[in-house]
Structure 1
Amino acid sequence: MPFQLFSDLCWNCSKELLGSCSVSPRPAVTLKPRYYLDHFEEMLEFVLTRYPHVIADGHRRFAESFQALNLDARCLYVRLVNRKGNVFLRDYLHYEEINDISSAINELRAADFVRSVHPSDYRDLLRIHTRDTIAKRIRQHVFPPDVKLPRLSSARKAELIDFSMAELPFEEICTSGTVDPFFAQAKTEELGYFLFLYFGRLQSSLNEFALRDLGVMKTLEFKQEFKPRFNSLEIALAAYHYHKILQGLYEASADRIEQFIADAPEWPTNDDMEISTLRGRAINKLGTWLERHNDPRALAIHQLSDQFPSTERTVRLLMKEGRSGEASVLLSRLIENPSCDQELLFAEDFYERKFNKKKVGRLTSLLRESPVVFIDESQRNYPEGAVIRLLAGQGTEAWHTENVIWSQLFGLTFWDLLFSDENVVIHNPFDRISKDLGTGQFYQNHKNAIESKLAEFATPNSVIEQLHETFNSHHGSPNHLVSWSDDLFALTTRLVQLAPHGALAHVLRDLTQQWQARRNGFPDLMIIEKNQVRFSEIKAEGDSLRRNQLAQLERLKRAAFPVEVMRVEWIVDPEQDYVVVDVETTGGNTQWNRVTEIGAVRVRNGEIIEEWSSLINPQRRIPSKIVSLTGITDDMVAEAPVFADIADEFRAFLDGAVFVAHRAKFDYGFIKTEYERIDQEFRCPTLCTVVETRRHFPGLPSYSLANLSNHFRIALNSHHRALCDARATAEILLKINEKRMTQQEK
């Protein structure tokens, strides 16, 4: 029987993503010329009406000032809000529906909605210039002799921006021969706060409104009354504060980090659960940043929080500093009063290993003790599917359900409490889930109704009847829990029929109490054999068992479900074909760079039986440093085929083989991206010779291709040319497979 994959379902379509996701063509929708202004004013009115208690005087003045602008100025301001970046050039602004853009800019200046550009806007200012313009300004400027210029002919725009930020004076860019041609958006704090109140996250545009009007994004038509997101100005401002910190930590400068460290002890605290969670996330993120940069202040920052995972980091850092007594006290406290399942698992396991001298942790022990299945490595790109095929050959049904079947059952069981009940906490038409589910208050808010529904699971047929009614009544409604797939629904009803008595009520109750913490980590496979259901976590070679996965296995076991961990080890078949691939590229990042050469050799039965190679025109210049490395020049690829021209031929050469490469993530990633650029999917079982040589030849000083070739006495005469490197990698593969075959025979 063909296996079923339910972990990648399209939420609002009954087709699986493995196939084509076909939908009926939508009728053409034309947006009004000033649709964006309507959307902005809709958002503003929504917030002003529902959030008067959390709007400060400055926010109210922002709304009043905006409403006092003339039509052109209002339109231009919203156009600027929806554009990328914060700095604008008058010459780039052209909108047919705005009669006089210059006058609109002047009115916005007079009302302080736009302002002159400041040095703090330098990066945004650079971003609106073309790469060539920035390079030209760098050429024109006279730098001190010790400043090393980038290669202006080949450097990416991002590199030129970074160099300009460090070495090129702000004034060199902020001029174009006219008077103050650049301006920046002002009142960004006030605008950001209004958008935050509406969406509950930091957002700079209203794209959802346009997608709604175009029919692309469905909204909650069955819900018209929306509750305010915050009950007080203090809580709203604290939440906004933490969201800005969390965003700021993604790309914070050294100065910004220092400010965060200085301010962290005074960050706002509150009994509100959401604020406590946000504060814990911000502290953990800051502490983790400091750890990554080997900053000893990380411990002091983590100690500001009593939430996991900062508590784990505190224990580990205390042990690292030799303060085992303090670590022991904290571990005992965490074991006695854990904040979540993962914290308890960590504390118990760590205490046993460090203080009771247990050599191996629970995760490793469970994995080592798990049964092993041996499967041909031609299926190594999808171990879950490989096990499903193996079981199918034995007459056993299995599906890759992971988290999705539990989300399906949860959403259908509690649909009315999540979406239809008058107490549902939904804040705007774009929300997909009740807020109390995320804050852990769902069970408390609906305890009697939840227990009543769980009691019905004593009679599975009545539950299935109710699930059918809900599925049919709300089919197609937008949400983040239920997929409207008939196949998945049928499987969900089988789970209800076959689950041990009381097991589903146990699991669902757990989910209602801590949805955010417990919605992930469910075992990969649902298996039905002789009318009994069990769940299996699949781990291939090199995979580790995560803490949340162990927690789910233990919860399911307590609920009376049979559970297991199954290890997959790949069998080496001498008749299996391998295609060893090497690619040369214009650089290391798949987003910006392209392939310049592909070399591939086919291996079977310990021999190279076929070769394929081609230069590829990358349709961009090759940086000089890459030319120095590979010897591949622009002239060499000028007449070469583009990737689209060789895509079918290369795919045919790979057919039926395992894709092998040295640092396979790099080569496979570039090939996959090149196929994506021509709208083709690329999937192939993959083997990395770096990973495998580390496993089978431990202790070597280096696992680079050059060093391994030297160690194994393999010829590498034209290193960094694709076919030469592919041949050398193929020889390394043969050494690896010799080892694997020997171990396999034992």
Structure 2
Amino acid sequence: MKSEPAPHSSVPGTADLDNPLYYLENFETVVRWVRQHHSDLLTDEETGLIDNLLALGQPARALLARMVMRTGELFRIEKLNYPELGQPVADAAKTLSGAGWIEGNPKIPLAEVFRLFTLAELRPALAERISAAGLPARAAKGVLKDTLIPQHPTPAPVEHWLPETPTQVIRLNHMDLFDRLRLMFFGNLRQNWSDFVLVELGHQQYEQVPLSAESRAFDERADVDCYLVMHHCRERLDQGDAPETVWQDVPPASDNPWLESRRGRLLFELGKLAERGGNTDLALTAYGQSGHREARLRQLRLLERLKRYREAWDLARAAGDNPRFSSEEQGLERIRSRLARKLGETAPQAPQRPALATFTLELDNPEGHSVEWVALEHLSEPGAPVAYVENTLINGLFGLLCWRALFAPIPGAFFHPFQTGPVDLYREDFVDRRQALFDEALGHLTSGHYKSGIRDTWQQKQGIASPFVLWPVLSEEILELALECIPARHLELVFRRLLDNLREHRSGFPDLIRFQPGHPDPNRRYEMIEVKGPGDRLQDHQTRWLEFFVSHDIPVSVCYVRWAGAAE
């Protein structure tokens, strides 16, 4: 019976880049972390392998770490040059071979031979095979590969392929274990070992989120296995396997929300490929089972293309009662309008778009500054300072107010102590899983306690990595002006829209903000200003924010800049 995972302990040490073996320290930080915190999800064989690894001498451990970080599992000994090992690579490899970590003379397919050796090495070694295939001796490598690999499908030791070449090829064993360790540490297989191992972790401060058994994404080993199956399904799709074949291996729906979100992404991609290949039934099924934010719109558009109008209409009406996000709401309106015309139904009324306030400045720019900077300098006055903030101010205020919600130890959010934010930040259910915490944070805006809370967080968390707070930009001066001039009601409106779709709505804010602390109207003590230079125009996501501000009586305008003396 497996023991319970170890409770969260002190943060592991981080290696100094001045140490030539810093990568080994960071590599072993990952291995030891998983060994300590996920031991109940590892088999006895896996924990035995980890203990065997950590008991090896330093040169062998360092060579193993180097190979794990590299691409593939096959390596040429003579091409491995790591003087920091303090021992010849061949000697360290011999130690690893004796411990079962590498295979000394593996059988390899010809395709791997082409990957490992240069064309200059291959031509003389494969001369007889090249001639027998009827190819010219100077044939390009691509031609040789396309011709010879199908003719020689059986793997063989390297001396069979290159008998006169002084070389030694080794194969790294147990890469499936290292993939499993990487998954349990990062929470994904998108990040590779180098993303962590080759980074100087000590230069950055990280929020210390309690990592307990309850906050883990993987409740049991079957969850890890399920993720690995889905990852391999996605790899097969990327490599060109038919979606019909991959569909047979997609795991069933999971009661683990984090895994189900990953499954939704896989089904969405499978559905798109099935649709592209003409298998519309499979595509509709995959979209229907996927919780991906775009799946429902794809499903509706496909039904519409198939002229299954009534089915699409019923689905669109049901979806309109509970849109997943604002851009889906817009897409549903357009689809329902088209379907209504085809079915003789009443079309939804198009929302009225508010008019944007605009003004134009004609300015000189002899020093070639950016258009935003020139506008800022012109608009700034002693009693009405202007700051260039773009996406940093609103996001920063949000990040400070909602710090506790963003760094809550929700399952599937934090995997190790070196994260700048939750890994599920852009997942469809990110807010739902923290709804009470966000409601509590936004509730401070109505109670009047938010200013002191934001100030305290700014002081206490100074310099700690956050996905929303850019510390060098959010100075104390800007923070105080924002708290003095921006009404709590405006912040609440903006923050709630931000929460509707964090990925899309965290950008598109106006470039400048003008503070007017002495204005008699408390709702007009600031103004956001989007600046557009000659030939520039508003982007869709900017327009959506601007129209939102206008519709909620939040002061905003668009400044069009023309250069003095420029031809019309």
The TM-score bracket by the shorter chain reads 0.7 to 0.9
Of 551, 554, 557 in structure 2, the residue corresponding to residue 561 of structure 1 is 554
The SS at the match of 1:348 is helix
> Aligned pair in 2 of structure 1 residues 436, 111: CA closer, same or farther (>3 Å)?
same
1:520 to 2:509 alignment:
no
Q: Which amino acid aligns with 1:196?
A: L
1:409 corresponds to:
397
Task: Give the C-alpha shift of residue 422 in structure 1.
Answer: 11
Distance 1:342 1:207, change over 3 A: closer
CA distance 1:393–1:402, shift in 2 (3 Å): closer
Assess if the C-alpha contact under 8 Å between 2:187 and 2:412 holds in 1. Answer: no
What is the distance in 1 between the residues matched to 2:349 and 2:249? 34
Question: In the alignment, which residue of structure 1 is the partner of 2:146?
Answer: 166
Please say if residues 500 and 561 of structure 1, whose CA atoms lie closer than 8 Å, have aligned partners that are also in contact: no
Which residue of the other structure, out of 300, 321, 338, is the alignment partner of 1:336? 321
Corresponding residue to 2:188 among 201, 215, 228: 201
Secondary structure, aligned partner of 2:75: strand
Q: Identify the residue that residue 122 of structure 1 maps to in structure 2.
A: 111
CA displacement 1:20-66 (0-9 Å, x = unmatched): xxxxxxxx953154x44443333222112211232245533542453
Correspondence list, 1:243-258, <5 A: 243-246=231-234, 249=237, 252-254=238-240, 257-258=241-242
Deviation at 1:244, TM superposition (A): 4.6
Residue-by-residue CA offset, 1:265-296 (whole Å, 9 max, x unaligned)? 73342122222221122222233345567776
- Whichever residue aligns with residue 101 of structure 2, its letter is F
The answer on whether the counterparts of 2:527 and 2:555 sit within 8 Å (CA) in structure 1 is yes
Q: 1:244 to 1:291 in 2, by over 3 A?
A: same
- For 1:360 and 1:126, how far apart are their aligned partners in 2? 61
The answer to whether residue 282 in structure 2 is matched with residue 287 in structure 1 is no
Task: Tell me the equivalent position of 1:349.
Answer: 334
Q: 2:62 aligns with which of 70, 75, 90?
A: 75
Deviation at 1:356, TM superposition (A): 3.9
Quote the Cα distance in structure 2 between the aligned partners of 1:85 and 1:48. 24
Pick from 410, 416, 428 the counterpart of residue 416 of structure 2: 428
**Aligned with residue 206 of structure 2, among 220, 223, 227:** 220
Q: Secondary structure at the match of 1:184?
A: strand
Aligned to 1:483: 470
Instruction: Measure, in 2, the Cα distance between the counterparts of 1:150 and 1:84.
Output: 29
Residue 443 of structure 1 contacts residue 450 of structure 1 at CA under 8 Å; is this kept in 2? no
The letter for the 2-side match of 1:262 is V
Alpha-carbon deviation of 1:134?
A: 5.7
Which amino acid in 1 is paired with 2:442?
L
What SS does structure 2 have at the residue aligned with 1:183?
strand
Confirm or deny that 1:142 pairs with 2:135: no
Q: Does 1:52 align with 2:39?
A: yes
* Equivalences for residues 81-100 of structure 1 within 5 A: 81-96=68-83, 97=85, 99=87
Q: In structure 2, give the amino acid aligned to 1:412.
A: L
**Residues 1:271 and 2:252 are matched in the alignment:** no
Return the offset for 1:525: 3.2
Q: What do residues 417-460 of structure 1 show as CA deviations (whole Å, max 9, x unaligned)?
A: 5459999964312111245755545675573x655543443476
Structure 1 residues 331-340 or 236-245, which shifts more?
A: 236-245
Cα distance between partner residues in 2 of 1:424 and 1:271: 13
Partner of 1:321: 306
Matched to 1:520, the amino acid is R
Residue in structure 1 matching 2:176, options 168, 184, 189: 189
Q: TM-score normalized by structure 2?
A: 0.73
Name the CA distance, whole Å, in 1 between partners of 2:176 and 2:464: 35
Say whether the 8 Å CA contact 1:407–1:519 is kept in structure 2: no
2:514 partner SS: strand
- CA 1:570–1:290 in 2, change beyond 3 Å: closer, same or farther? farther
Q: Contact between 1:89 and 1:183, CA under 8 Å: does it hold in 2?
A: yes
Supply the distance in 2 between the matched residues of 1:51 and 1:78 (Cα, whole angstroms). 20
TM-score normalised over the length of structure 1: 0.58
**Do structure 1's residue 503 and structure 2's residue 503 form an aligned pair?**
no
Note closer, same or farther for the CA distance 1:377–1:525 as it changes in structure 2 (3 Å cut): same
Amino acid at match of 1:485: P
1:262 aligns with 2:246: yes
Quick one: distance in 1 between partners of 2:364 and 2:309? 48
Q: Distance in 1 between matches of 2:483 and 2:393?
A: 11
Distance change >3 Å, CA 528–CA 476, structure 1 → 2:
same
* CA positional deviation for 1:479: 2.9
- In the other structure, the counterpart of 2:297 is 312
Pick which of 75-84 and 127-136 moved more.
127-136
Q: What is the match of residue 5 of structure 2?
A: none
In 2, distance between residues paired with 1:475 and 1:343?
37
Distance between the aligned counterparts of 1:71 and 1:450, measured in 2? 48
Aligned runs of 1:685-700 on 2, under 5 Å? none
Quick one: structure 1 residues 496 and 135, their matched pair in 2 at CA, closer, same or farther if it must change by over 3 Å? Answer: farther
Could you tell me how far 1:192 is from its partner in structure 2?
0.5
Question: Residue 643 of structure 1 aligns with which residue?
Answer: none
Q: Which runs of 5+ in 1 are unaligned?
A: 1-27, 153-159, 577-740, 742-746
| Alpha-carbon separation, structure 2, partners of 1:149 and 1:264 | 45
Q: Report how far residue 308 of structure 1 moved.
A: 2.5
Q: Deviations over 1:540-561 (max 9, x none)?
A: 8696754x65665566567652
Find the aligned partners of 1:423 and 1:273 in 2 and give their Cα distance: 9
Task: Say which of 429, 441, 454 aligns to 2:442.
Answer: 454
Shift of residue 366 of structure 1?
5.2
Structure 2 residue ranges without an equivalent (≥5): 1-15
Matched, 1:241 2:225: no
Tell me the alpha carbon deviations over residues 363-399 of structure 1, each in whole angstroms, 9 at most, x when there is no partner: 9x959x76777788999xx99x647745764668765
Provide closer, same or farther for how the CA distance between residues 549 and 521 of structure 1 changes in structure 2, counting only shifts above 3 A: farther
What's the C-alpha RMSD, in Å, of the aligned pairs?
4.8
Q: 2:287 maps to what in 1?
A: 302
Q: Distance between the aligned counterparts of 1:354 and 1:111, measured in 2?
A: 67
Q: Distance in 2 between matches of 1:135 and 1:562?
A: 72
Please tell me whether the aligned partners of residues 528 and 556 of structure 2 are also in contact (alpha carbons under 8 angstroms).
yes
Q: Which amino acid aligns with 1:318?
A: L
**Structure 1 residues 285 and 402, CA gap change in structure 2 (3 angstroms):** farther
